[in-house]
Chain A
């Protein structure tokens, strides 16, 4: 079944020879919350610009809602909402005027715009500030207004490029909460972000791009599982057992009885054990240690994070960058990320 976004062998080479996207293939299903992650310069923004008809592809195929990005650009623009990485609101206009203008550009008409704008102002909590100029808004308010402008025409698909970068944690949480609600209402969300915890919580599937190529894609769970090992941290009540070192004894137990263990490392409180499906192993571990009369004081399992996934596939840790003037270039900066 074709997805709501279909991309196949997509290539973008800029005029100066920079190969920003080198033949990527992926597909997003209708109603999905899809994360598109990658380090700076990976080709994320270029891909978004192609999908949102702002940039012509060099070769390959891309469609949005079954519409070809080259030949049906005008139709695509009516059903997508696009939020740029930089907050884009007209600071000389009030919040309401920004929304109304966006509705007009989306070819909506008077009464429909008014009704929709009133609703949106409520949704993004800007009713009180609606008639103040956006220039007086805080960063978080501008971002919420910006998000609202992308929603005026009830888009089927939202493209969000770093929607929460540079925001304080509270504003960030608010935006993610809105996005979650929108997605539950059936809007497909295609998002790039550096906040992996949110991705983990909200994205049903994600793709990781690096140097213009997709290096991994799947559900957050699958990708983390691919990493292999959970880490189980064990703390012991006593440091010695029957005259021997408890760690040595515990190692023997682990090596004898558990195949899934991939690595065992000494820790301050005892041992850290790396194993596939670590959490399933816990009851057996406890039983085995009990039999061997090893008393546990603590036991904790932590799963691999998306950060580990990201590290494995790109060799880099994702780093949250603050918004700086260097990031404030518009769409015509050659290649931002």
Chain B
């Protein structure tokens, strides 16, 4: 079956490109790390209002920063596809018997891998800053899995944009225009109490808020919205987030698949 071998070969290609351009890993990590180091200090006073003083702001914000990174990193996926289109590498591949879907799958696989590597770096850094996993190693594995899942769904948007517009600038432009409003109107970096009422409404339905809850719970062992801690895994929150991410993923990856079919046919 050529699908798996082709996808593997193309995944390996992407990995080599990544290792040889480490800037690709660190480019999108730069901002989250600044956030982790400075933002958390700037807002350390917020800790008093969180989880009845049990939770430090750094621990609270780590989840948001992990998600922010996944967000901006996933938005880079589309630019790699644009590169392959513009350089002619895609058409070179298409003139071979390579499995068409494997081209897309190999790409997604390497994007998810990149997000996972970045997430691990952030979590290690957070650990050094005193953020210990409340739910242990299993909790962190769950965090990584959730981030990968979330990254996959968002990569879809970026890939679809890249395939549709064939312009890296457009992908970056839209990414910037979408990332910050969604991030700041979510509970990624503050709790809902700090927002004006209209923003609280937005935040409640903001998929970023929903996803961040599923990451925050394993890290902190809390349900911050309900101000309870030491509850272990909060499966309700986690599964709700998975439902939302899956719905987003279906739409974005569906669109990607559709546009990709159009490009390769």
Contacts and interface: CB of A to CB of B under 8 A. Distances in A.
Interface of A: 52-54, 56, 74, 77-78, 80, 82, 84, 86, 88, 90, 92-93, 97, 101-102, 104-107, 133, 149, 328-332
B20 interface: yes
Contacts, number: 70
Given A92-B21, A105-B6, A330 B87 contact: yes
Across the A-B interface, give the 7 residue pairs with the lowest CB-CB distance, nearest first.
Answer: A331-B91, A82-B95, A88-B88, A92-B17, A104-B9, A105-B98, A105-B96
B96 A330 contact: no
26 contacts: A52-B95, A53-B94, A54-B91, A54-B95, A82-B95, A84-B88, A86-B87, A88-B88, A90-B89, A92-B17, A92-B21, A93-B13, A93-B16, A101-B9, A102-B96, A104-B5, A106-B97, A149-B92, A329-B86, A330-B86, A330-B87, A330-B88, A330-B91, A331-B88, A332-B85, A332-B166
Nearest to B89: A88
Contacts of B9: 101, 104-105
The residue among A93, A105, A332 with the most chain B CB atoms within 10 A of its own CB is A105
A84 B245 CA distance: 40
Contacts of A78: 97
Contacts of B88: 84, 86, 88, 330-331
Contacts of A93: 13, 16-17
A54 B94 CA distance: 7
Interface string B155-173: 0000000000010000000
A56 B265 contact: yes
Contacts of A74: 97
Contacts of A133: 20
How many chain B residues sit at the interface, stated as a range, is: 20 to 34
Nearest to A146: B92
Interface of B: 2, 5-6, 9, 13, 16-17, 20-21, 85-98, 166, 263, 265
A298 to B, nearest CB: 51
Nearest to B2: A107
Label chain A's interface by main secondary structure: loop
Nearest to B84: A330
The residue among B89, B90, B95 with the most chain A CB atoms within 10 A of its own CB is B95
A328 to B, nearest CB: 8
B90 A330 contact: yes
A337 to B, nearest CB: 14
Given A328-B86, A332-B85, A332-B166, 19 more contacts: A52-B95, A78-B97, A82-B92, A82-B95, A84-B91, A84-B92, A86-B87, A88-B91, A88-B92, A92-B17, A93-B17, A97-B16, A104-B5, A105-B96, A105-B97, A107-B2, A329-B86, A331-B85, A331-B88
Contacts of A332: 85, 91, 166, 263
A313 to B, nearest CB: 30
A106 to B, nearest CB: 5
A328 B93 CA distance: 17
B20 A92 contact: yes
Nearest to A153: B96
Contacts of A77: 95-97
Nearest to B12: A101
The residue among B6, B13, B92 with the most chain A CB atoms within 10 A of its own CB is B92
B163 to A, nearest CB: 10
Contact of A90 (B2, B13, B86): B13
A154 to B, nearest CB: 13
B93 A90 contact: no
